[in-house]
Amino acid sequence: MLTTRAPAKINLTLHVLGRRDDGYHALESLVAFSGAGDTLSLSPGDALSLDISGPTSSAAGAGDDNLVLRAARRLAAEISGLRLGRFRLEKRLPVAAGIGGGSSDAAAALRLLAKANHLAPDDPRIIEVARAVGSDVPVCLDPQARMMRGAGETLGEPIRLPLLPAVLINPGAPVATGPVFAALGLRPGASREGAAHSDIAARPGAEELLAALAKGRNDLEDAACLQAPVIVDALALLRGAHGCRLARMSGSGATCFALFSTRRQAVRAASVIRAQHPGWWVKTAVLR
């Protein structure tokens, strides 16, 4: 049996530069990954199936449209004779949460199928299938911090992040990605004003990175807050936490993250928020 982790994707910045003629939005985003994630295993075989368990399995669904199965079927359509098998997904990440849980699961499925079939992880057919399954899937194929551009298909070199103790919180309101982009009201072909994204060094120091992040933003935050006003409360809680250096929403929401100087501050903030909101998903993480 082959096993891999499907870590949460965090958009440390997310700038929307405009809307392309194909309807997708042109982005610039510094993406990082957290230790929190799902676990996916594959017992290689001829028939394709998926068993799913874990606290958020019912929200993700085990049907044919699960992104694990969609990715596997698409790769099988590309590569005749592809060895498939029985996937087991332990689903822990909140669903429709702005942290790319489904995308990370799809990318994990492609990594496992590559291994089971002795394909290079960067085989062009795998990359093509990743793009077709979802905008966030390519960046999740090799989950390391990097810049993501275009609609998600253009990836920079890995960035070695400094130690960044973080807290991730999800207040439990699912947010669908399409309507949040649509709420920006951009016509195809439109471009947007806004400060350019700061350059990020290959190995930034902590203060250097925090200064670059402070100049950035998440352009989907306002639209997501209108759909799920509880995000405003989540951000306020993080910003008020002792030692919080920066708090922002990830992706199209509703998960928000905060960065701290020390792990102790992050642990303390998480336990305070957990006590105030026992129903929320609250995790400490080190971003990479």
Ligand X SMILES: C[C@](O)(CO)[C@H](O)COP(=O)(O)OP(=O)(O)OC[C@H]1O[C@@H](n2ccc(N)nc2=O)[C@H](O)[C@@H]1O
Binding residues: 94-104
Whether 230 contacts 138, CB under 8 Å? no
Query: Does the annotation count 91 as an active-site position?
Result: no
- Which helix (H) or strand (E) covers residue 223, if one does? helix 221-227
Please identify, using beta-carbon distances, which residue of 105 and 197 lies nearer to ligand ATP. Answer: 105
Residue at 28: amino acid letter: E
Q: Is the Cβ–Cβ distance between 174 and 217 less than 8 Å?
A: no
Residue 13 binds to ligand X (criterion: CB under 6 A): no
Residue 25 touches ligand X, criterion: CB under 6 A: yes
101 interface partner picked from ligand ATP, ligand X, none, CB below 5 to 8 A per type: ligand ATP
Q: 60 touches which of ligand ATP, ligand X, none (CB within 5 to 8 A by kind)?
A: ligand ATP
Diameter over CA atoms, the chain: 56
Q: State the binding site for ATP.
A: 94-104
Query: CA-to-CA distance for 287 and 162, rounded, in angstroms?
Result: 9
The residues pairing with 3 across neighbouring beta strands, listed in sequence order, are 41
Sign of CA dihedral 24, 252, 111, 122: positive
Integer Cα distance of 186 and 193 in angstroms: 12
* Nearest approach, Cβ of residue 236 and ligand ATP (Å): 22
- CB nearer ligand ATP, residue 60 or residue 225: 60
- The CA distance from 288 to 162, in Å, is 8
103 belongs to the binding site for ligand X (CB under 6 A): yes
What's the gap between Cα 126 and its chain centre? 19
- Judged by the rule CB under 6 A, the positions of this chain that interact with ligand ATP are 60-61, 65-68, 95-103, 105, 136, 177, 251-252
User: Which 170-229 positions form the footprint of ligand X (CB under 6 A)?
Assistant: 177-178, 181
Q: Does 34 bind ligand X (CB under 6 A)?
A: no
34 binds, among ligand X, ligand ATP, none (CB under 5 to 8 A by kind): none
Tell me if residue 283 is catalytic.
no
CA dihedral 237, 221, 152, 102 (to 10 degrees): 60
Tell me the closest approach of the beta carbon of residue 132 to ligand ATP, in angstroms. Answer: 14
Task: Choose the one of ligand ATP, ligand X, none that binds residue 155, judging by a C-beta under 5 to 8 angstroms depending on kind.
Answer: none
Residue whose CB is less far from ligand ATP, 37 or 102: 102
Q: Would you tell me how many other CB atoms lie within 10 Å of the CB of residue 82?
A: 17
Q: Is 97 in the site for ligand X (CB under 6 A)?
A: no
Q: How far is the CB of 181 from ligand X (least distance, A)?
A: 4
The token pair that represents 260 in the structure block: 């701290």
Token output for 55? 């606290």
Q: Which of 38, 91, 105, 136 is catalytic?
A: 136
Q: Annotated catalytic sites, by residue?
A: 9, 136
Applying CB under 6 A, which residues contact ligand X?
11, 14, 24-25, 27, 29, 100, 103, 134-136, 151-152, 177-178, 181, 251-252
